[in-house]
A = this chain, B = another copy of it.
């Protein structure tokens, strides 16, 4: 049995007239009669009672009719769904993101994407940069929003594309002596205890910070570690030390902490979208476009 047989059968069952059904199908009447006959032979059942005057469904035909319609409908909708999936308009996307992307980039990107592609089911996972790198390579994640740079082998097999660019700023307790200055000189922080995220969470950015300190002539003493940028700020506000965070983190004000531009300026730090270089999932491309539009 093929869908052709069902298409022909449904046409005849609806018209109850071979000639008109054939016309509707864009074929001639004899091949239609043949195909119906072939279907009947295949099923071992006669589907129509027909004499030269009228055509009627048999009991078996009555049984097949609704089932055949449903099958054809289901086939059509499967086709549509597949095409949509092929255009990246339907399906699923598992997205990783670092906590600091939730300030601005992630909500804007999600808003744009959901509006344009409402049929995509999004699964969101807050993960560190390092976790995202592994999850991307393991196929657990389709796209990651992370903090480059990725070190050496980390980037193998991944496409990483920067989306935002910002500088690091200093975070100080609000009653800190340096908080009265408009800018903070990095060298002035040499003796301060630091609050920083563990290197393992994002070695690229971590190294970049240490390098910056080194250029300012000191090695920061990490008094306290924290995973989230928000936590870093909270700990600074609590008097546990000072820190550097991307300037976008300063957008969410927190009592007890102040943000100050650094002198010299740090190199720009990015948020980037990453995905496997060998992905063919068109949803990935569509999502990345949305992120770039939001960035």
Residues of A contacting B: mostly: helix
Contact A91 B63 (CB under 8 A): yes
In the assembled complex, the Cα of A93 lies from the Cα of B266 at a distance in Å of 85
Query: In the complex, what distance in Å separates the CA atom of A74 from the CA atom of B58?
Result: 21
Question: Is A59 in contact with B43, judged by CB distance below 8 angstroms?
Answer: no
Number of interface residues of A (CB under 8 A): 38
Copies in the complex: 2
B79-A49 in contact (CB<8A) = no
| Most chain B CB inside 10 Å of its own CB: which residue of A59, A84, A88 | A59
Residues of B within 8 Å of A71, CB to CB, are: 71, 74-75, 78
Inter-chain contacts of A67 with B (CB < 8 A)? 74, 77-78, 81-82
- Of A156-164, A174-182, A275-283, the segment with at least 4 beta carbons within 8 Å of chain B is A275-283
Residues from chain B with a CB closer than 8 A to the CB of A283 are 59
Is B44 in contact with A63, judged by CB distance below 8 angstroms?
no
Q: Would you mind naming 25 contact pairs between A and B with Cβ atoms under 8 Å apart?
A: A2-B3, A43-B79, A44-B83, A45-B83, A45-B85, A59-B85, A59-B88, A60-B82, A60-B85, A62-B85, A63-B81, A63-B85, A64-B78, A64-B81, A64-B82, A64-B85, A67-B77, A67-B82, A68-B78, A70-B74, A71-B71, A71-B74, A71-B75, A71-B78, A74-B74
Q: Which 10 A-B pairs have the closest CB atoms?
A: A45-B86, A63-B85, A67-B78, A60-B86, A59-B281, A60-B85, A64-B82, A2-B2, A2-B3, A59-B91
